[in-house]
Structure 1
Amino acid sequence: MDTRGGESTPQNTDLGKPVEFVYRPTAADFEEALRARARRSSAGRAQALMAPVMAAVAVSVFSVARDAPPVVWIISLVLAVPIAFWGTLRGLRTMARRMHSMVEPYGEARMVADERGSVTTGERASFSMHWVVFREYLETPGLFVLLGGDRAAGVAVLPKRGAQDAADIDRLRAILDRNLKRL
C-alpha cells in the first residue's frame, strides 16, 4: 500500500531485476559487430571510408602530377577504389578474427547486466564494466554492440542467442536504453 498520498501507480517490476545471457563468442559475432559499427557510427564510417578516399586522392594527385590522359585516370580510379573497399572489408574480417582470438580462450561466457553495468564470467576469467565505460550501443538482428566512449575504442559484443528466454532480450534493450545512447 502506498502511504505517500495520491494515486498508487504500478511499478515496473523488471527495473531492478538483472538479466542473464550465456553464450560462446564467435568470430562471426565480431565481424557482424564491426560491420554494423562501420555502417552506423560516425567513427566507423570514417574508418571504413578512409582507404577508398585516400586511394582516389592518391590516383588523382599522381595522374595530375604525371599529366596522365583522362582515360588512364578514370581506369585507375575504377580499379583503385574498389580494391580499397575490398581491402577495408578484409581488414574488418581480420580485426574480427583477432578480437575473437583474444576472447576464445576464456570459453563460454555468462553475462549478467543490471542498472549499474555488467559482469561477465568466462571459464577462465571474469570482468565487470559500469555503463559509463560505453557511450552508445547499436542493435543488429543477432547482437547488441556496445561502443566505447571518447577515451575508449572498445567494442563489446552481446549475442542475442545467449538470452535465457525471449523476454531477456527486451529487458536488456530497456537497460541499455536507460543507460546508453542508441544508434
Structure 2
Amino acid sequence: MDTRGGDSSDQDTDRSTAVEFVYQPTVADFEEALRGRARRSSAGRAQVLMAPLIAVVAVVVFSTLKDATLPVWIITLVLSVAATSWGAVRGLRTMARRMFSVVEPYGQCRMVADDRGAVSTGERASFTVDWTVFREYLETPGLFVLLGGDRAAGVAVLPKRGAQNPADVDRLRAILDRNLKRL
C-alpha cells in the first residue's frame, strides 16, 4: 500500500476511501483479542482446551491403572480440570502481556486502511501491510482482530475506540469484509 498519494481517478471512490484510527494499545486490548480468538477460531479453541483435555485423559488412564476408588477418581478429575483451566486462562493473560510488550514502545498508533492494505505508524516505527498477510478477522465489542494464515501466526489488534467518528467503524468493517473472511 503506497501512502505517498498519486492519481486515483481510475479507482472507485467508495472502495478507495481510507479510514483512520488513532489509539494507544493496552494489555486489555490483547486480552480481549485472545479471548475472541479462543472462542471463534479452531486454533484458539484448541490452544485453550488442550490442557484440560489432556488432564482428563491422564486422570482416566492413571485412575484405571491404579484401580482408584470412584471418589478419588472424581476428586482428582475435578481438581486437575480446574487447575489446567486456570492455567489456560493465565496463559492467555501472559501471552497478552507479552504481545503488548512488543507494541508498547511504539506509543500512540495511527492506522490508515483502504482496500489495498493498512499503514500503521507509531511514535517510533511504522509498517505497511497488504491484506494478503491476514486470512480472516473477527470482531469483538471493542476491537477488530486480524488473524494470519496457516503459516503466519500474526495477530493485529485494531481498537474501535480509535475511530475518528462512529461511521469509521462501519467503513473499516466494510473494507475488512471485502478483503478478509469474517469469523
Please tell me whether Structure 1 or Structure 2 has the larger radius of gyration of its CA atoms.
1
Matched residues in 1 for 2:106 and 2:126: separation?
9
Q: Could you tell me which residue of structure 1 aligns to residue 3 of structure 2?
A: none
Q: Could you tell me which residue of structure 2 aligns to residue 178 of structure 1?
A: 178
Give the stretch that moved more between structures: 139-148 or 13-22. Answer: 13-22
Q: Could you tell me which residue of structure 2 aligns to residue 121 of structure 1?
A: 121
Letter in 2 for 1:84: T
Q: TM-score, normalised by structure 1?
A: 0.92
Report if the CA contact (8 A) 1:22-1:111 is conserved: yes
Q: Could you tell me which residue of structure 1 aligns to residue 145 of structure 2?
A: 145
Matched residues in 2 for 1:13 and 1:117: separation?
16
Alignment of 1:84-163 (within 5 A): 84-163=84-163
The DSSP-based 3-state class of the residue aligned with 1:87 is helix
Aligned pair count reads 173
Q: CA deviation at 1:70?
A: 1.5
Q: CA deviation at 1:148?
A: 0.5
RMSD of aligned alpha carbons = 1.2
The DSSP-based 3-state class of the residue aligned with 2:56 is helix
Alignment of 1:40-79 (within 5 A): 40-79=40-79
Unaligned runs of 5+ in 2: 1-10
Matched residues in 2 for 1:49 and 1:12: separation?
45
Report if the CA contact (8 A) 1:29-1:143 is conserved: yes
Letter in 2 for 1:85: S
Q: Could you tell me which residue of structure 2 aligns to residue 24 of structure 1?
A: 24
Give the stretch that moved more between structures: 93-102 or 66-75. Answer: 66-75
Matched residues in 2 for 1:33 and 1:45: separation?
13
Report if the CA contact (8 A) 1:14-1:171 is conserved: no
Report if the CA contact (8 A) 1:109-1:123 is conserved: yes
Unaligned runs of 5+ in 1: 1-10
Matched residues in 2 for 1:97 and 1:179: separation?
29
Matched residues in 2 for 1:65 and 1:29: separation?
45
Q: CA deviation at 1:14?
A: 2.6
Q: CA deviation at 1:13?
A: 4.0
List, as ranges, runs of 4+ consecutive aligned residues in structure 1 with deviation greater than 3 Å: none
Percent identity between the two aligned chains: 76
